[in-house]
């Protein structure tokens, strides 16, 4: 059922000329009801459009989640934030950290999906992607991964050292979590970049 959409999408991507041709439709004489299924066929059409648009499927939602997670998390790092009668604290900070990581993973999927789609001839190459790929490499990814991992390890050491100064006993969890949560986020981000860089490099081998 998505064949008509496929023709329009591929024609647009390859910059073909699209025009309307007048036609006349006549009843086909069939007595059975239409075989179209609204939800099934609608989902197949939407699925096809999303597959051919990794920007809307991965990139834009990912960037939005990263932006929200970074801004809200940055505010909560300095202390609790109250709106009316609702107070947001380290529990919300943990969720913002997760939101940021999910957003980064979605953004990473965009670049991987873009490379795969171009190599598979599903999508044409474009200047914006080509320019971005000039600055994205295995080496630059590994450097970024090492920086984030080191930052996470340093933050973890600061948290453990802070705990040690209290005799490894009970301490204020709210103060400690404001050190631990960003450290864990940095560690996970570094690991994602590390493995993502290798996968990106594998997908671009055909082009090099």
Q: 75-97, pLDDT tens digit by residue?
A: 999 888 999 889 899 999 999 99
5 falls within a domain: no
The answer to the question of residue 30 being in a domain is no
CB 2 within 8 A of CB 40: no
Answer yes or no: is 171 within a domain.
Answer: yes
99-138 tens-digit pLDDT:
999 999 999 999 898 888 888 777 877 777 777 777 788 8
Instruction: Specify if 77 maps to a domain.
Output: yes
- pLDDT given for residue 2 in this prediction: 66
Whether residue 165 lies inside any domain: the answer is yes
Structure-model confidence comparison of residues 204 and 189, the more confident one: 189
Higher-confidence position of 142 and 132 = 142
| 197 close to 145: Cβ distance less than 8 angstroms | yes
Judge whether 38 lies within some domain.
Answer: no
C-alpha distance from residue 178 to each of 59, 65, 77, 149, 190 (Å):
29, 20, 6, 17, 19
What pLDDT, on a 0 to 100 scale, did the predictor assign at position 184? Answer: 95
Residue 1 lies in a domain: no
Q: Is residue 110 part of a domain?
A: yes
If you average pLDDT over residues 128-156, what whole number do you get?
Answer: 88
The residue segments making up the domain with residue 61 are: 45-203
d(CA 152, CA 167): 23
State the pLDDT at residue 79. 87
The residue-averaged pLDDT of 167-193 equals: 89
Domain count, the chain: 1
The pTM score is 0.80
- Residue of 101, 114, 111, 91 lying closest to 184 (CA atoms): 101
């Amino acid at each position: 059922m998505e064949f008509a959409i496929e023709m329009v999408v591929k024609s647009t991507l390859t910059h073909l000329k699209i025009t309307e041709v007048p036609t006349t439709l006549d009843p086909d004489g069939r007595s059975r009801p239409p075989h179209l299924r609204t939800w099934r066929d609608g989902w197949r059409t939407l699925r096809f459009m999303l597959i051919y648009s990794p920007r809307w499927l991965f990139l834009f939602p990912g960037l939005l989640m990263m932006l929200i997670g970074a801004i809200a998390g940055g505010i909560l790092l300095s202390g609790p934030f109250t709106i009316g009668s609702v107070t947001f604290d380290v529990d919300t900070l943990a969720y913002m950290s997760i939101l940021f990581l999910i957003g980064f993973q979605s953004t990473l999927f965009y670049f991987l999906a873009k490379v795969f789609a171009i190599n598979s001839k599903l999508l044409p190459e474009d200047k914006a992607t080509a320019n971005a790929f000039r600055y994205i490499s295995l080496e630059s990814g590994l450097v970024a991964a090492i920086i984030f991992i080191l930052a996470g390890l340093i933050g973890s050491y600061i948290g453990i050292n802070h705990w040690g100064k209290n005799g490894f006993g009970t301490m204020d969890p709210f103060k400690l979590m404001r050190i631990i949560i960003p450290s864990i986020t940095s560690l996970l981000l570094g690991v994602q970049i590390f493995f993502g860089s290798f996968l990106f490099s594998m997908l671009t081998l055909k082009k090099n």
